[in-house]
Amino acid sequence: MVFSSLTFLCAFLPLVVLLYYACKKRTWRNAVLLVFSLLFYAWGEPKYIFVMLASVLVAYLGGFAIEFFKRREKQGFARAAMVVTTVILVGCLVVFKYLGLFAETFRALFSQNLNVVRLVLPIGISFYTFQILSYVIDLYWGKVVLQKNYFTLLLYLSFFPQLIAGPIVRYETVEDELKNRKETWQGFVAGLEKFIFGLAKKVLLANNLARLADGIYGYGIEKAGTLFAWVAVIAYTLQIYFDFSGYSDMAIGMGRMFGFHFPQNFNYPYIATSVTDFWRRWHISLSTWFRDYIYIPLGGNRVKPWRHAFNLLVTWALTGFWHGAQWSFLLWGLYYAALLLLEKFVLAAFLKKLPKFFGWLYTLFFVVIGWVIFYNESVWEIVKTLGALFVPSGTSPLDLISSDSSLGTALLFLPVSAVFAFPVLRRFLEKESPTAVLCREAICLVLFVLSFACLISSTYNPFIYFRF
C-alpha cells in the first residue's frame, strides 16, 4: 500500500487513527499500530511479510547474543555475534536485491549460460534492513539497551509510516518513544498538516513533473533538442525531490499524529551552496547512516589523506549501490565521491570565498548532472543525455507536443515547483497566530481536495455504450 492511494487515505488511515485513540493503554495502542503496520505491509505482497518477520527475529536473537557476551565481558564474542547478525541481515538484502544483477553481470562478462532469476524485491527491504542494523550495531556499541520484547522490536521496524520509503529512523531515535511517548492534539494537527503538504508535493507536483520528464525521455531525449533536454532533466531534478521529500513529509507527519518525532529527512537541498552542503540536506537519514555506520568506523577523515579518500570512495560507492541493483547507481555514488573529494582537497578554500550565488549555481549544476546518471540505466543512455544537453541541437517542439499534448500542461508545473523547492513558506508554516492557522488549514483542505481529485481522476475508465 502506498500513502497516495485511496485505500490508504479513506480506509487505512481513518481506521488506524480511530482505533489507536480508542485505546487508552500504551500496550494496546502499540498493538493497534503493530497490527495495522503488518496489514499495511501485507496489503501489497502478503508472502514477503515473512522476510521482514525473519529479519526482526534474527536481530532480536542477535541482540540477546550480543548482550549475553557483553555482560560476561567477552567482547570478542559480542563482536562476533554482531558481525554474524549483520552478515545475515545484509546477506538477505544482497540475495533479494543484488544477486540477480551479479549473476547477470557474471553471465555477460564470462559468457556463461547461467539461468538468472531476478527475485521480486520485498518492498522496503533496503530501508528496514538499515533500520534494524542500527539496532544491532548500536546495541553492540552500547548506545541502546536490549529490547526484550519481540513485538516492540517488530513495531519499531514495521511501523507503517516509515516502513517502505523511510526516513531511516534509528532505533536510538524512537527507543524511548516506543514505550513513553506523549500524544498531543497540537502534535496531531501539526502531523496531519505535514502529511497533507507531503501528499500535495507527491500528487500535485511530483506526478506532473514526472509526466514532463518521462514524456520527453519517452519521446527520445536526443530528438528533443538541447532546450527540451534541459527541461527534462530539470523536471526530473524537481520530481525526485518532491516525490521523495513528499513521502518523507507524510511519514514524519503520521509519526507526529501518533506521538513519534522522526528526524527531518530533507532540508531544502536545492538551496545548498556546495555538494557537501547538499548531502547535509538531501535524504539526511541515509547520509548520516552511512556516515555513522560506514564512514566513521572506517576512520572517517582523521586518517592519512589517501585513506580518507579511500573511506569516502567506499562510503559513496555503497551509498550509490544502496539505491538500486544497477551499475549506474554505483557510478552515481562514485560521481559524488569524486565531487566531495574535489571539494575537500581542492575547492574548499575557493568555495568559501566564492559569492553564495555562484556556489549555489555550481552545486545545482552538478546535482542536475548527477540526476542524469541516476535516471538512466546504462552508460550509453547517460552519454546520450549528456550529448543532448551539451551539444547544441535544434528543438522541434511541434514533434514533441504532437506526441503528447499534456506536456504543455505539465510544463506549467515546472516554475511552480521550482518556487516551492525554496523555503518560501517556511515562516508561514511555523506561525501560530489565528489568521496564520486559519490560512494554513484552508490551504491544507484545498490541497487535500486537489490531491484527492487528482488521485481519483487517474482511475477514469469510461464506457460510452454501457447498458448493463
Partner 1 sequence: MKQSRAVAIIRVCFVSLLALFLVASLVLTLFFARENNEYENRKANRVLPLTFGAFMNSSFQDSLESALSDQVPFAEGFKKAYNEADAYLSYNLLSATFADNADRYFDFNDVSVYNKDYLVYAPGAFSPTEKSGIDLKLGLLQKLVEKHPELKFYAYYIERDCDLNFETLEKVGYAEYVEEKLPENIAFSKFEINNFDTYSKYFFKTDHHWNHKGSYKAYTELLDLFETEEILALGEEYLVGEGFVGSKLSAAKTDAFWGEDLYAYKFGFCDMKIYENGVESADYGRQNGTADAFLSSGEKLNYNAYYGAENGETVFDTGREGRENLLVIGESYDNALLKQLACHFNRTYSIDLRYYKHYMGEEFSFDAYVEQHGIDRVLFIGNVDFFVLDVFNLKAEG
463 near partner 1, rule: CB under 8 A:
yes
166: left (phi over 0), alpha (psi -120 to 50) or beta: left
46 near partner 1, rule: CB under 8 A:
yes
Nearer to partner 1, 43 or 68 (CB): 43
Is 261 part of the annotated catalytic residue set? no
346 near partner 1, rule: CB under 8 A:
no
Minimum CB separation from partner 1 for residue 42, in Å? 8
The residues in 437-456 that bind partner 1, with binding defined as CB under 8 A, are 437-438, 441, 444-445, 448-449, 452-456
19 near partner 1, rule: CB under 8 A:
no
403 near partner 1, rule: CB under 8 A:
yes
Half-sphere exposure of 111 (CA within 13 A, CB side): 0
The residues in 156-185 that bind partner 1, with binding defined as CB under 8 A, are 185
Please state the length of the chain. Answer: 468
Nearer to partner 1, 90 or 416 (CB): 416
Minimum CB separation from partner 1 for residue 43, in Å? 6
Single-letter residue type at 203: V
43 near partner 1, rule: CB under 8 A:
yes
Nearer to partner 1, 109 or 464 (CB): 464
The separation between CA 113 and the C-alpha centre of its own chain, rounded to angstroms, equals 36
Half-sphere exposure of 54 (CA within 13 A, CB side): 13
Taking the C-alpha atoms of residue 422 and residue 61, their distance in angstroms, rounded to an integer, is: 46
Nearest alpha-carbon partner for 199 in 135, 148, 245: 245
412 near partner 1, rule: CB under 8 A:
yes
434 near partner 1, rule: CB under 8 A:
yes
Output the nine-digit C-alpha cell for 353: 570565498
Binding mask 370-399 vs partner 1 (x if CB under 8 A, - otherwise)? Answer: ----------------------------x-
Half-sphere exposure of 380 (CA within 13 A, CB side): 0
Half-sphere exposure of 121 (CA within 13 A, CB side): 18
Strands, DSSP E only, in 353-435?
Answer: none
8 A C-beta contact, residue 294 and residue 314: yes
8 A C-beta contact, residue 382 and residue 328: yes
Active site residues: 323
Residues that bind partner 1 (CB under 8 A): 1, 5-7, 9-11, 13-15, 43-44, 46-47, 185-186, 188-189, 192, 398, 401-406, 408-409, 412, 432-434, 437-438, 441, 444-445, 448-449, 452-457, 459-468
